[in-house]
């Protein structure tokens, strides 16, 4: 089974379309969506419609999905994120707002070996930035492989009987092989708002049978996403940051 793993799309339709084009050409069986379909970007309805059409095998909510559908206060959002959440709430069709409110909270077990969450397996809104965070998350994970999002940073944390390791996927394509007896906490990176300094859209394909995760970076029409953000009246920094991947 090959899972296409999408997270943090953030209403960026040009990025999602570019990712799906490459992913379709490469081939996959099922789709996993790790939350934050909306927020920041200018195409929340089109992105939700596109995700619905993929009929994901598993999908969970992110903090922006909660905030943008009115499920969650934006008190801990910065001013730009709060403005975007309010804009998104008003832009969403009633059906799509309802869709976001029905998304389950992570973590969600996909197979005995594979689990997905937005932030961490113990708190859907917590961030995994450093080794201490990762060890807490690995302790809480139920399977050997836990996929997460939320930080928008592609990374592989792993813990084997011999130690703890951190690896950063780089380049257009990179691949890891999952070793028996090692537990993995993997972030594919963000489709719609990368923050690792690489502006290309990020996604991953997890091949459970081959025990491999392949990380992809895909160029997309950043200019179109930026134009849409500015035309929508969303804060200009949300357009500017796409070009630098921060």
Nearer to Zn ion, 14 or 41 (CB): 41
CA–CA distance, 108 with 236 (Å, rounded to integer) = 35
Q: 134 and 76 in contact (C-beta within 8 Å)?
A: no
Task: In angstroms, give the least distance from the CB of 163 to Zn ion.
Answer: 30
Strand, coil or helix: what is 187? Answer: strand
Vertex 136: Cα angle to 206 and 174 (nearest 5): 30
Respond yes or no on whether the N-terminal peptide bond of residue 196 is cis (omega within 30° of 0).
no
Nearer to Zn ion, 43 or 208 (CB): 43
Nearer to Zn ion, 8 or 17 (CB): 8
Nearer to Zn ion, 17 or 36 (CB): 36
Task: In angstroms, give the least distance from the CB of 149 to Zn ion.
Answer: 6
* Tally of residues, the chain: 246
Task: In angstroms, give the least distance from the CB of 1 to Zn ion.
Answer: 26
User: In the complex, which residues of this chain contact Zn ion (CB under 5 A)?
Assistant: 8, 36
Task: In angstroms, give the least distance from the CB of 120 to Zn ion.
Answer: 14
Task: In angstroms, give the least distance from the CB of 36 to Zn ion.
Answer: 4
Nearer to Zn ion, 8 or 43 (CB): 8
The residue with its CB nearest to Zn ion is 36
CA–CA distance, 83 with 149 (Å, rounded to integer) = 22
Within 10 angstroms of residue 206's Cβ, the number of other Cβ atoms is: 25
Where does residue 122 fall: left (phi above 0), alpha (psi -120 to 50 degrees), or beta otherwise? Answer: alpha
């Amino acid at each position: 089974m090959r899972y296409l793993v999408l997270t943090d799309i953030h209403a960026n339709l040009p990025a999602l379309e570019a990712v799906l084009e490459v992913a379709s050409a490469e081939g996959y069986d099922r789709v996993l969506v790790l939350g934050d379909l909306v927020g920041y970007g200018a195409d929340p309805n089109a992105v939700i419609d596109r995700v619905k059409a993929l009929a994901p095998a598993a999908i969970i909510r992110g903090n922006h999905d909660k905030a943008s559908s009115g499920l969650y206060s934006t008190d801990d959002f910065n001013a730009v994120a709060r403005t975007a959440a309010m804009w998104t709430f008003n832009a969403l069709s009633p059906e799509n707002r309802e869709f976001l409110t029905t998304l389950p909270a992570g973590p969600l077990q996909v197979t005995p070996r594979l689990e997905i969450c937005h932030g961490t397996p113990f708190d859907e809104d917590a961030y995994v930035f450093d080794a201490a965070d990762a060890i807490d998350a690995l302790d809480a994970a139920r399977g050997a492989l836990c996929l997460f999002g939320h930080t928008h940073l592609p990374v592989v944390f792993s813990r084997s009987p011999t130690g703890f390791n951190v690896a950063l996927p780089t380049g257009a394509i990179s691949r890891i092989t999952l070793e028996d007896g090692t537990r993995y906490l993997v972030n594919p990176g963000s489709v719609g708002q990368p923050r690792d300094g690489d502006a290309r859209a990020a996604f991953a394909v997890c091949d459970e049978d081959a025990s491999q995760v392949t990380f992809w970076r895909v160029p997309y029409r950043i200019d179109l996403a930026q134009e849409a953000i500015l035309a929508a009246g969303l804060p200009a920094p949300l357009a500017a940051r796409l070009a630098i991947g921060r």
